[in-house]
Structure 1
Amino acid sequence: MHAPADEIVQYAAGLIRERVRLDTSEIAARFGMSRTTLFRRVGNREKLMGEALWWLADRTLRRADDRWEEQYGSAVRDEKGWLRCLRILEYYGTAVVTEPGFAWLLENEQPVAMRVLTDPDGLVQPRLIAAHVALLARDVADAGLTPLVDLQTLGFAVVRLEDAIIYSDVMAGHTEHFPKALTLVQQLVEGVLQVPREVDEAGPA
């Protein structure tokens, strides 16, 4: 019986982390199937890369969320007043820019990797936006915030800002710029997620 698709995806994710090129012939042989069977199970090479990159991103986001919970429990802000979603995105972004396999992929397969990562109808970006929206929505609900724009738009804007800075920095080897990128994300999110003002029903004195 052939391996399930998720096992193949995790194997491909491991290859990326180990800085090994995804070779569909090798992967098919590894799981005792033909390339045709591999294609039917997980799609072509770009689709497999997309699934593997999302598996890595999702795992990293979950670990970032766990890190917050370990440090702050159910709190919505940390001791410096930062929203939970921003700290989680900081943990996530730091893990991404310091991941050797990710840097290797962008350096050695830049065109295909960027196409897979940034395709608005692809396997990575829509899921990443949805994950960002979920983080934002949780803080909006728990902190009683009033967004100035819908969260789908805000999530999209945050992801595109991260794309523009993180990916270009990783490709250029200038990951020290990430803290500045985080400041931009913070200003964007904090500016949009406003604390609701209390209305004085009695009116002006």
Structure 2
Amino acid sequence: MAGTSTPLQRSLAGSAARPGALDAFLLARRRFQAGERIDMQALAAELGVNRATVYRWVGSRELLLCEVVWSLTERTLRREPPAADGSGSRLAAVLSRFVTDTLAHRGMRRFLEEEGECALRLLTLSSGGFQPRLVGLVRELAAAETAAGRLASPIPLDDLAYTLVRVIESYVYLRTITGEEPDGTRAARVLQALLPGPADPGRSRPGRT
């Protein structure tokens, strides 16, 4: 994220001297994963500090939510890829699994159902800091797959990563956007079409540029 970092961000980067911000983050993540709403007053009470201290550590509830969701997102996307089933590239399988896992996650379900507009604003706009990191990670994964010969796309990597993230967002936040029930299989079909498997011998791979 641009600008001055918060104590939480410095703790996550391993550069903070005091553990308080990281304690707040870990507690918030546990509550999020349990499907509970992240309440700043409740966090402060459990940590034995006042609410102003928690805000000083993490910046705001929105920034804390972004860091919690990002930590879970990065962990999911960096997991061992699922076994190939012949229906697309390995990256298509990774991103399809990510959509399915996100929709099934207890904390994300509560967040989307009870705070859908907040989630959409925080996680899909560049100003929130989450989306640029997601685009960057997807680009990194696409570049690695292209270099390994497991992905052949005519779309430049920057455009490909942005498009893939927009596809993911469209299906994860489908209920908030259109009122329809989210369906990971629909996202998988689109991702498989955008991410073909290895190119035939001799076929160029312009996505590497």
Task: Give the structure-2-normalised TM-score.
Answer: 0.77
1:154 pairs with 2:160:
yes
Q: Is the contact between residue 146 and residue 196 of structure 1 (CA under 8 Å) also seen in structure 2? A: no
Q: Is the contact between residue 96 and residue 187 of structure 2 (CA under 8 Å) also seen in structure 1? A: no
1:194 to partner: Cα distance? 5.4
1:5 pairs with 2:21:
yes
- The CA deviation string for residues 155-195 of structure 1, in whole angstroms up to 9 with x for no partner, is 111111111122114885724x321221111112229x855
Q: Is the contact between residue 103 and residue 170 of structure 1 (CA under 8 Å) also seen in structure 2? A: no
1:134 pairs with 2:147:
no
User: How many Å separate the matches in 2 of 1:197 and 1:102?
Assistant: 43
Q: Is the contact between residue 97 and residue 166 of structure 1 (CA under 8 Å) also seen in structure 2? A: yes
- AA matched with 2:141: L
Q: Is the contact between residue 129 and residue 159 of structure 1 (CA under 8 Å) also seen in structure 2? A: yes
In structure 2, the CA distance between the partners of 1:6 and 1:61, relative to structure 1 (3 Å rule), is farther
1:55 to partner: Cα distance? 1.2
1:115 to partner: Cα distance? 1.0
Q: Which runs of 5+ in 1 are unaligned?
A: 72-77, 200-205
Report the counterpart of residue 99 of structure 1 in structure 2. 105
1:81 to partner: Cα distance? 5.8
User: How many Å separate the matches in 2 of 1:165 and 1:144?
Assistant: 25
User: How many Å separate the matches in 1 of 2:168 and 2:43?
Assistant: 31
Q: How many residues align?
A: 187
- The CA deviation string for residues 28-56 of structure 1, in whole angstroms up to 9 with x for no partner, is 22222222222221111111111111112
Report the counterpart of residue 202 of structure 1 in structure 2. none
Q: SS of the residue aligned with 2:127?
A: coil
1:197 to 184, 196, 202: 202
Report the counterpart of residue 174 of structure 1 in structure 2. 181
In structure 2, the CA distance between the partners of 1:30 and 1:198, relative to structure 1 (3 Å rule), is closer
Q: Is the contact between residue 96 and residue 184 of structure 2 (CA under 8 Å) also seen in structure 1? A: no
- The CA deviation string for residues 103-135 of structure 1, in whole angstroms up to 9 with x for no partner, is 111111122221111111323211111111111
Q: SS of the residue aligned with 1:50?
A: helix
- AA matched with 1:179: T
Report the counterpart of residue 203 of structure 1 in structure 2. none
**% of aligned pairs identical?**
28
User: How many Å separate the matches in 2 of 1:146 and 1:88?
Assistant: 16
Aligned-residue RMSD, C-alpha = 2.7
Report the counterpart of residue 19 of structure 1 in structure 2. 35
Q: Is the contact between residue 10 and residue 55 of structure 1 (CA under 8 Å) also seen in structure 2? A: no
User: How many Å separate the matches in 2 of 1:145 and 1:108?
Assistant: 38
User: How many Å separate the matches in 2 of 1:60 and 1:146?
Assistant: 23
User: How many Å separate the matches in 1 of 2:81 and 2:52?
Assistant: 41
Q: Is the contact between residue 16 and residue 22 of structure 1 (CA under 8 Å) also seen in structure 2? A: yes
Q: Is the contact between residue 145 and residue 195 of structure 1 (CA under 8 Å) also seen in structure 2? A: no
User: How many Å separate the matches in 2 of 1:14 and 1:156?
Assistant: 30
- AA matched with 1:10: L
